[in-house]
Structure 1
């Protein structure tokens, strides 16, 4: 029976690349059939990366019941198929805190405090003595550059940097920073994109103190690119707040990778959680968070404390 490798909803480049890479590695290291899958279409950056290195996109998978599953880049139920409890999770490869997925049987887990799931998968190739195919080295390299915001994110570690150095040689990439800027220019291109697609380009729901909280993020090379769209983005997150049974809050981080900070748009039943979390009083619709670039490390943990 095939094992499907999936990551979180609204997949990003790490989720896409990690599912492809782990499926390749696992088939060679463990034996059997592993199928790279995703819960949604590839975002523009991921499409660019896959096309650049000639790699096929994962197949679409939105139902997990009755299937054997390997999870990459998440263990949170809110980010997985609704029927994940009816699946058999056998593997986890991640770089986040542990979520609320449980299993009835023992499983293999590789969870490291690094900037990207692909850093973990790259180490697994080394551990099992499996050669990394050149195209897969390329997409993992890009995933690390994306997740660490070209090493600017506070989540970035020496392991991430060493993985990039090794993968770049395997992929034949001479200038990794130039490649990173290419990727972020693609990610920054928003003209003509529906506002809903932008809000959900990198969006996750969280359970915080029993309340449903949505946090999205748009990373651009210059915040000025998003300025003409802010009102429309705000109107969209207002809509999102009321959907799916309603949310307590929806936050959208507009991250400027050059200025190294984020303007956060918000709609909330209690805006005081922002000041509790960050010590900054917000304006009516937004707040500037200096040096905040990582949702995982700099936004989710303080919000969890504030909601508790």
Structure 2
């Protein structure tokens, strides 16, 4: 019986590539593993798969009675609804420890670094398994995405070394130029619905019993969304009602200006203002230097609840 490997809901490139790269490693180690996904892929992930000939994992959202490895998360809110009915064999992640629990011992690789694929690169090195050229290229792009081309405060020397090592394997010297192509693809918003934009990289959180949703759009130039802010807010209102959220936030992250505009709808906006020492105007504010949701947003927002 196959074991399934997947990342969080509304998967980003790290989740998709992480499932692919970990599945290959586990298969080389003698386990029968299949990479799957919990949601639709983003334009950035599509770019990465096309660039390196990767195959989009099958969509699978139910895992009752299955054995699984999970990548890039450990929060119940980002897991399949029936995760409690599955057997979690392992977790590979780079976020805070979430609230998933298991009935049996498991393999855990959780590191405070910039990307889950960097952790998986360490696993390949540990087990002395050679990384194929195509998978190395996808892993390299996932790390460059998650670290915002090394600009994110989550980026470590381990991440930069992993990118350099992977660039040699996949034969791409100017990996920063490729990363800019990737972010340009990620920035494409023409024809995308407000719901698509709000959920491209959206994560729900249970903050001490309070439901909070935080999405992020990383773009080369967020000004292209200026005419669509009202549309984004209207859809955020629907999402807030549908999921019975206390607070929903969207980060519009400008990788060139190195900061984020936040859009906020909340039952108590003062919690957001207190978290970041700001005053919201029209439910918006600019956060200078903020590029990382997991290091610069969640650790400050969660204590408010």
Compute the TM-score of the two structures, normalised by the length of structure 1.
0.98
CA distance in 1, matches of 2:272, 2:159: 31
Q: Deviations over 1:200-226 (max 9, x none)?
A: 000000011211000000111112121
Matching of residue 14 in structure 1 with residue 3 in structure 2 = no
Q: What is the aligned partner in structure 1 of residue 27 from structure 2?
A: 27
Matching of residue 129 in structure 1 with residue 131 in structure 2 = no
Retained in 2: the 8 A contact 1:188–1:225?
no
Q: 1:29-44 to 2 correspondence within 5 Å?
A: 29=29, 31-44=30-43
Q: 1:44-123 to 2 correspondence within 5 Å?
A: 44-123=43-122
CA distance in 1, matches of 2:66, 2:123: 24
Secondary structure of the corresponding residue to residue 91 of structure 1: strand
Structure 1 residue 61, shift from structure 2 partner: 1.0
Structure 1 residue 229, shift from structure 2 partner: 1.3
Secondary structure of the corresponding residue to residue 297 of structure 2: helix
CA distance in 1, matches of 2:99, 2:127: 29
Structure 2 residue aligned with 1:262, among 253, 260, 263?
A: 260
Secondary structure of the corresponding residue to residue 73 of structure 2: coil
Retained in 2: the 8 A contact 1:77–1:100?
yes
Secondary structure of the corresponding residue to residue 226 of structure 1: helix
Structure 1 residue 32, shift from structure 2 partner: 2.3
Q: Deviations over 1:4-26 (max 9, x none)?
A: 00110000000000000000001
Q: Deviations over 1:74-97 (max 9, x none)?
A: 011100100000000001100011
CA distance in 2, matches of 1:202, 1:270: 24
Q: Deviations over 1:51-74 (max 9, x none)?
A: 100011111110011000001000
CA distance in 2, matches of 1:178, 1:17: 20
Secondary structure of the corresponding residue to residue 144 of structure 1: helix
Secondary structure of the corresponding residue to residue 287 of structure 1: strand
Compute the TM-score of the two structures, normalised by the length of structure 2.
0.99
CA distance in 2, matches of 1:226, 1:119: 32
CA distance in 2, matches of 1:68, 1:142: 28
Q: Deviations over 1:156-196 (max 9, x none)?
A: 00000000000001011110110110000001110110110
Q: Which runs of 4+ in 1 moved over 4 A?
A: none
Task: Report the count of equivalent residues.
Answer: 305
Matching of residue 234 in structure 1 with residue 229 in structure 2 = no
Q: What is the aligned partner in structure 2 of residue 4 from structure 1?
A: 4
CA distance in 1, matches of 2:116, 2:132: 17
Q: What is the aligned partner in structure 2 of residue 278 from structure 1?
A: 276
Structure 1 residue 284, shift from structure 2 partner: 2.5
CA distance in 1, matches of 2:161, 2:225: 33
Q: What is the aligned partner in structure 2 of residue 177 from structure 1?
A: 176
Structure 1 residue 234, shift from structure 2 partner: 1.0
Secondary structure of the corresponding residue to residue 303 of structure 1: helix
Q: 1:279-298 to 2 correspondence within 5 Å?
A: 279-298=277-296
Retained in 2: the 8 A contact 1:3–1:34?
yes
